[in-house]
Amino acid sequence: MLIGRLLAKRSRNHNRSIPIEGYIRDQSIAPVRYMKYGTAHMNYNGCEVIATYNALISLDTPMPLAEIAEAYSKSGLWFFGIFGTWPAAIPRFFRRRGYRVTMYSKHRFREADDPTLIYTYWNPRFRGIHTVELHKTPKGYTVLNLRPLMGRYFPTPAAAIRMIKTPLPLRLTGLRHP
């Protein structure tokens, strides 16, 4: 806990000077890639923070990326951020802020119809987990922070998730206003 608070303070001081506006579509490009989270930069371990940031924008309640990173640094870093954010910290973050949170098992993904969702899965290419945000637009659901699906629209969240080739889906979190 103390290490998390120290890392949060270090990241906060660094990140506040980096301007971020609008949706983040790719964590590997500037300026996001230079922001700190835990013991690394967000291009390495910030996907959960970025998914949360994008979800808050799609829910019309934006919050600065630096503040989200600080909140997760205090209670959510997974092994000092080496593995990013502990997946259970995401629903906790939203529940504490009054959102309706629905957790879907992999057998219930096709039932998801929330306007905003966060999906965590095993990424065999990088041998680690990756987290993306999906939200409904007039054209359908779109996926952010996953290059192969950028700019594509899907009729349902399940259709988008099927396009994410993974042997191990881990968690789908549906989000709504209270």
Of residues 38 and 27, the one with the higher pLDDT is 27
> How many CA atoms does the CB half-sphere of 72 hold within 13 Å?
36
pLDDT at residue number 72? 83
* pLDDT, average across residues 92-97: 95
**Kindly report the CA angle at 44 between 40 and 50, in degrees rounded to 5?**
100
Distance (Å) of CA 34 to CA 10, 44, 60, 80, 141: 13, 10, 26, 18, 29
pLDDT at residue number 38? 73
pLDDT at residue number 5? 60
Q: Does 76 score more than 70 pLDDT?
A: no
pLDDT at residue number 8? 61
Tens-place pLDDT, residues 96-105: 999 999 999 8
Rg (CA), the chain: 15
168: burial class by Cβ within 10 Å (0-12, 13-18, 19+)?
Answer: exposed
Q: Delineate the domains of the chain, giving CATH numbers in brackets.
A: 2-176 (3.90.70.10)
Question: pTM for this structure?
Answer: 0.90
Taking residue 108's Cβ as centre, other Cβ atoms within 10 Å add up to: 12
Helix spans in 16-88 (H): 42-45, 47-58, 65-74
Q: Name the DSSP class of 134.
A: E
Judge whether 93 and 71 are in contact, CB under 8 Å.
Answer: yes
Taking residue 160's Cβ as centre, other Cβ atoms within 10 Å add up to: 24
Tens-place pLDDT, residues 111-163: 999 999 999 998 877 778 899 999 999 999 999 999 889 899 999 999 999 99
Q: Does 61 score more than 90 pLDDT?
A: yes
pLDDT at residue number 116? 98
